[in-house]
Structure 1
């Protein structure tokens, strides 16, 4: 009796694996996600299975479920401790905006807060200078949470400001994504810790046995809170706007909001709950929530999102707003990978006569997401949408304005990863001044773009179309 060869064993194991995954994969997924994974697994069974173990398992492992309960409890404790002052600062909105605000509150846990002052910063250097200035004025604490923190010229200057603050006795905490900021964490955190600065790596890449869940859960939030009185959030990381690229025109264009007022309470609560999630250190004293400045007139609602929120709350809120649009929608995003529900909402808007404008970089910094995005252009232009290709660098600002009445702004891209996998931070603006300011910036981006011609786009080569459409099949995984 002859034993099977290694090749035969591998061949038979592939078919066994295909059969097992054909049963497993569709059990907990939407059809689009299941189809994408089954395509990979049928073509490349063993490599696909290994990839599936790292980023395909939808059911959170036990320690992730425990973290979810910790996060929910931390937010609840913070709100309960300051319920009196928190409730008094809620914004008063008209009936239409109140409907949206109630949905945001139920899905994200934060109410719309009134009496805020907002300043938008559209230049990277101006943001860094203002952040350093505010850190230099800090008296009690500096809290920074970012996806990417690089020790280039920008990161070095911010670090020096944080070190100066720590030398004055200011409590300094850096909560950085373990993947996006891994170089900084590995090389610089030991020295900074010796200077009294607390640094935590969010969602570290720990052992497969302990994890056995998605390794691509990332904290994509960009938050800075100074003394509980001033906060920054938006799309910009702590990195040079070239992101290390040598091409002179490949500059990331970001937009950041500097906020003072009651909404800082909500941003602080999100940071502190994330800090508790990673450290078990509960920080809920009155020094972290001082009486806010109330001389502004902007109502703002903070909308944290991520895989611990069920259902995908930012996704749900945006879809609801799109269906209620009456005149115009403008979307700026570096990555455009909508799921079926988003596509249906966009198509519905176009067929209702809504003026839909999508502003996206002409040149993408990522091959797969860029080509996946281009595969959608033909469909949405056919519905009547206008696509503007930004050609002054990489447009990294993420915003959605609807009818000059409401705006979404923050760290979320218009893609499946931001909708379902990343921990994101977005703001909902209801005030006319802030909505007008964001729309003014969106129109400036459109002026710096070239509108895509449908006929010219549809005449592109067959090879390009084929590559784009094949990559589109992977959209649920991107």
Structure 2
């Protein structure tokens, strides 16, 4: 075909475009709908598949490209290759380390939960640990800073959101002092989770560079780094601090001001309420291993096991602890399976604290089943939500839960209850970074800690009492009386939240 033919073809198209275009769009519409029915349901949970199909059927030309970009919760290729290497190493290590013995008064089903965690994450149950809880935001930052100031060899810091501001200045000063005296300091922070708070993020980067602290952003948003589009909303949501492999912190709190430096929140007096746990004993080495894995992903530096795992010959703490990591790097939803296992095992009481409660069907049925067989269930959520979609989506579940007998405690505004933990039967606690929502189950890398023992539960119940005193109980009558248009928004957001 020569230039003249191309000109004639273009001329014909320009002349007939208004006639041809509707037929072309109709054909494209049909092709995309048929392709969606074939492709979308493959290896996908029904509620997610239905949500994607609905979006594509309503507007195929927009919905299908969005599905191609956001429809697969899969890590970039190079990271998947690294994950396979790490999984093999962790499995091999796990075979040589026996689980610690549970207390004699532990329920029989707790051993099943330990076995499940070990199969999913390859982390053993460790004994001889001590643990302390902290719920005051500034105090936890200052206590972490105090531990960093006592560091002799290493300081490992990993947070989803991190920034240097008035609240975190003391912590970063401690990090800088440790680095200046020769302590090896490594810092990780989620790219999106920290970058969006630009002012404090920029100050943090400058500070770390000034003190020669090695640092990396986790899951950097580089959509085409492997030569194919990568989903940008896969994030590392963990929160960890490990000092010398001997002292560790984990929980729900980020390394940033309690109002996240948002002017609107500052004016409204909004503060995030968190729960953090300080640990000593063999479990800290397991936390250090988890940090080492994330460090390997971002830096390509493989920190050897003997550098991360420290002997604890005199560990005589009263608690058995087991780390339960989860995220898109694992085959299954580790945190969801653990929660469901514990809910089905409960015989007396379940208390769940989660700022974002958007369960999948399996978790919803686990809770309803527990409630119907007489288990007392209490769910703590925020009265004020900070994310429109998630807040309305989770509210769409309240009617079903209240009708089943679940008590819902709404933490009074203007505070945002951001803590995340569950307690079951005065026997076991799970605390960490994981919300009880679909994002935490599928898209985010999370770290949870299972702690056995009634002594630890005493302190957990004290914290629950504090949260209960700051909350009001939602009744079914009050909830059903909300305006009809609010119900429509809730149910629409519930459908949208299933698109993962």
TM-score by length of structure 2 reads 0.89
Call closer, same or farther: CA 1:96–1:31 in 2, change over 3 Å: closer
Q: Give the conservation status (yes or no) of the 8 Å contact 1:21–1:38.
A: yes
Query: Equivalents in 2 of 1:242, 1:60: separation in Å?
Result: 31
1:262 is the counterpart of 2:275: no
Cα offsets for 1:53-98 (capped at 9, x unmatched): 3321245553342132133145357668xx5xx54x8343444322
Identify the match of residue 90 of structure 1 among 75, 100, 109.
Answer: 100
Query: Equivalents in 2 of 1:46, 1:156: separation in Å?
Result: 49
Instruction: Tell me by how many angstroms 1:190 deviates.
Output: 5.5
- Runs (4+) of structure 1 exceeding 6 A deviation are none
Query: Equivalents in 1 of 2:94, 2:304: separation in Å?
Result: 10
Call closer, same or farther: CA 1:270–1:128 in 2, change over 3 Å: same
Instruction: Tell me by how many angstroms 1:386 deviates.
Output: 1.0
Query: Equivalents in 2 of 1:420, 1:296: separation in Å?
Result: 34
Match of 1:139, SS state, is coil
Q: Give the conservation status (yes or no) of the 8 Å contact 2:51–2:496.
A: yes
1:231 is the counterpart of 2:248: yes
Cross-structure match for 1:272: 292
RMSD, aligned α-carbons:
2.1
Instruction: Tell me by how many angstroms 1:199 deviates.
Output: 0.6
1:193 is the counterpart of 2:209: yes
Mark the runs of 5 or more structure 1 residues left unpaired by the alignment.
Answer: none
The within-5 A match list for 1:215-364 is 215-244=232-261, 245-284=265-304, 286-292=306-312, 293-364=314-385
The within-5 A match list for 1:207-222 is 207-208=223-224, 210-222=227-239
Cα offsets for 1:326-362 (capped at 9, x unmatched): 0111111101100010111011011101111111000
Match of 2:377, SS state, is strand
Mark the runs of 5 or more structure 2 residues left unpaired by the alignment.
Answer: 1-11
Call closer, same or farther: CA 1:288–1:55 in 2, change over 3 Å: same
Query: Equivalents in 2 of 1:207, 1:43: separation in Å?
Result: 27
Identify the match of residue 420 of structure 1 among 431, 439, 442.
Answer: 442
Instruction: Tell me by how many angstroms 1:301 deviates.
Output: 0.9
Query: Equivalents in 1 of 2:400, 2:57: separation in Å?
Result: 28
Call closer, same or farther: CA 1:464–1:203 in 2, change over 3 Å: same
Call closer, same or farther: CA 1:24–1:163 in 2, change over 3 Å: same
1:171 is the counterpart of 2:184: yes
1:407 is the counterpart of 2:407: no
Q: Give the conservation status (yes or no) of the 8 Å contact 1:74–1:273.
A: no
Instruction: Tell me by how many angstroms 1:311 deviates.
Output: 1.7
1:365 is the counterpart of 2:386: yes
Cα offsets for 1:145-197 (capped at 9, x unmatched): 10000222123332222111110001110111111012366664355235321
Cross-structure match for 2:8: none
Identify the match of residue 148 of structure 1 among 161, 166, 174.
Answer: 161
Cα offsets for 1:278-318 (capped at 9, x unmatched): 22211125343332251311111111111122221111111
Query: Equivalents in 1 of 2:138, 2:303: separation in Å?
Result: 32
Identify the match of residue 220 of structure 2 among 194, 204, 216.
Answer: 204
Call closer, same or farther: CA 1:91–1:202 in 2, change over 3 Å: farther
Call closer, same or farther: CA 1:347–1:63 in 2, change over 3 Å: same
Instruction: Tell me by how many angstroms 1:260 deviates.
Output: 0.7
Cross-structure match for 1:384: 405
Number of residue pairs matched by the alignment: 473
Cross-structure match for 2:59: 44
Deviation larger for 18-27 or 32-41: 18-27
Cross-structure match for 2:5: none
Instruction: Tell me by how many angstroms 1:125 deviates.
Output: 0.8
Query: Equivalents in 1 of 2:398, 2:420: separation in Å?
Result: 18
Cross-structure match for 1:471: 493
Identify the match of residue 433 of structure 1 among 447, 451, 455.
Answer: 455
Instruction: Tell me by how many angstroms 1:389 deviates.
Output: 0.7
Cross-structure match for 1:30: 45
Cross-structure match for 1:106: 119
Pick the structure with greater CA Rg.
2
TM-score by length of structure 1 reads 0.93
Query: Equivalents in 1 of 2:75, 2:37: separation in Å?
Result: 20
